[in-house]
Amino acid sequence: MRTSRRLLSIALLFGFSTGALAETEVNADGMSIKALDDPDTINKELQTLVAADNPLRKFIDAANIKFKAFDSDKPGTEKSLGFSYDLSRDFSRYYISNETARNDGLTFNISAKGNVAFDKAANPRDFLDSKVAFLGFLSRGGAIATTPETQAKLNDLEDAAAESQTREEFLRNPATVEAARIIRAHMTTQFYCELAADGGIESDQSFSQKQYTYGGHVAFDIKAWNPDSPLSQFNVFDYPFAATRLLLQNDTAWSPRGSALPTVIVGVDQVMPTGNDPRAMVGDKSDFPRLKLEAGYRTLAGYINGEAAFFEANLRYYQELGASAAVKATSLDHTTVFTAVLLLPKGMYVSYSLGRLPFDVKDSQVYELGFQYKF
């Protein structure tokens, strides 16, 4: 029991899951601004007004709501305050098998994500996506298998790490770093796959443009926890952050993480547009099949004064299948958007995105600065 608790504690500490983010102060323009123009003001007021047992408070946490100030080069778009949300929740999960390193089952999932601007005319990424899905999933691997000798060594390392006086000292302690390395080395590569039938609605913030979808998707995820595995050593997506962790002395050696391999989702939907969307403006109001590809990953960038900083990247691509000549001529048959986010300590984050989403006509660059607050 003693060893299992320690394994879990150190695994959580080193980014296998993330902790709560706290508030801080920010100035979007590098100059003095009014309090009501500061996203952090909203966080502070919500903390005061929303009680711990209030359902609204629990919803805000679950929905990963981030208050932000965003700026865009989109014509006619001005700086604005707003927030983003990303909610995904499983209901009625049923396990066909639920064993060590082996999980198969079925679940019903509800998800929703998007951006909302307080001035809807200034929303630079005006695309809300809500879905319900029934899916089957399969997971293999990820277990920790150690010998009594290894368990004893981990216990000794934890005792040595516990002598640290501060969190920063603890993170830099050679005993802590070595314990984390041993844990990752004893975790097997984890494979996850899901197959889903889904349906939903996509709209802009005002619901003046919306379309209904139904179809399915398949998702793949691989986590090579062992740093010595080939999937870890050749994970080029983590090379820049392996370098930052080494420079910050969070890692004692070059150590790309196989846990930062991208998750990939491939789906095909039948889309039923309504309203005055861009396709309708060029004379095509018909239903259409659409291919969707999405890939994303998250990795530890390093620790700053004992607090973790993470990097996230996401790419979304939509391709209309069998598009009409009018839609192709205006390049409305495909859209792509890439987003990169740096999640800094104390809840602050900065992000940059390039491209366009459905309902957009032209590509644009969007810069965001804001806070994620966990109550």
- How far is residue 130 from each of residues 110, 204, 213, 232, 307, measured CA to CA in Å? 8, 11, 10, 34, 33
Range of the domain at 262: 2-372
- Cβ atoms of 309 and 241 within 8 Å: the answer is no
- Cβ atoms of 265 and 133 within 8 Å: the answer is no
User: Longest C-alpha distance within the chain, in Å?
Assistant: 72
The residue with tokens 């709501």 is 65
Q: Give the C-alpha separation, 48 to 42, whole Å.
A: 10
Confidence band (pLDDT; 50, 70, 90) for 23?
A: very low
Percent of the chain with pLDDT over 90: 45
Q: What is the pLDDT of residues 173-201, one digit of tens each?
A: 888 878 877 877 778 889 999 999 999 99
Span of 5-9, 78-82, 229-233, 288-292 with lowest mean pLDDT: 5-9
With vertex at residue 168, the alpha carbon angle to CA 162 and CA 174, rounded to the nearest 5 degrees, is: 55
pLDDT for the residue 243:
95
Residue 52 has pLDDT above 60, yes or no: no
Q: What is the pLDDT of residues 133-172, one digit of tens each?
A: 999 999 998 776 677 888 888 888 888 888 887 766 777 7
254-263 average pLDDT score: 93
Q: Which one, of 357, 332, 311, 362, lies nearest residue 115 by Cα? A: 357
Confidence band (pLDDT; 50, 70, 90) for 213?
A: very high
Amino acid found at 242: A
29-37 average pLDDT score: 39
Confidence band (pLDDT; 50, 70, 90) for 79?
A: confident
1-7 average pLDDT score: 37
Q: What is the pLDDT of residues 119-139, one digit of tens each?
A: 888 888 899 999 999 999 999
- How far is residue 120 from each of residues 124, 185, 205, 231, 321, measured CA to CA in Å? 9, 49, 7, 44, 31
pLDDT for the residue 8:
35
pLDDT for the residue 277:
83
Confidence band (pLDDT; 50, 70, 90) for 307?
A: confident
Question: 41: which 2 tokens?
Answer: 């003001």
Confidence band (pLDDT; 50, 70, 90) for 275?
A: confident
Residue 27 has pLDDT above 50, yes or no: no
With helix as H, strand as E and coil as C, how does the chain read?
A: CHHHHHHHHHHHHHHHCCCCCCCCCCCCCCCCCCHHHCHHHHHHHHHHHCCCCCHHHHHHHHCCCEEEEEEECCCCCCCEEEEEEEEEEEEEEEEEEEECCEEEEEEEEEEEEEEEECCHHHCCCCCEEEEEEEEEEEEECCCECCCHHHHHHHHHHHHHHCCCCCHHHHHHCHHHHHHHHHHHHCECCEEEEEEEEEEEEEECCCCCEEEEEEEEEEEEEEEECCCCCHHHHCCHHHHHHHHHHHHCCCCCCCCCCECCCCEEEEEEEEEEEEECCHHHHCCCCCCEEEEEEEEEEEEEEEEECCEEEEEEEEEEEEEECCCCHHHHHCCCCEEEEEEEEEECHHHEEEEEEEECCCCCCCCEEEEEEEEECCC
Q: What is the pLDDT of residues 65-74, one digit of tens each?
A: 888 898 887 7
pLDDT for the residue 30:
36
Higher pLDDT, 8 or 366: 366
Burial tier of 131 (Cβ tally within 10 Å: 0-12, 13-18, 19+)? buried
Q: What's the sign of the alpha-carbon dihedral 358, 359, 360, 365?
A: negative
Higher pLDDT, 144 or 294: 294
Angle, helices 148-161/2-11, rounded to nearest 10 degrees = 60
Q: What is the pLDDT of residues 84-119, one digit of tens each?
A: 999 988 888 899 988 878 889 999 999 999 999 988
The residue with tokens 């600065």 is 369
Residue 373 has pLDDT above 70, yes or no: no
Give me the number of domains the chain comprises: 1
The pLDDT mean for the chain works out to: 81
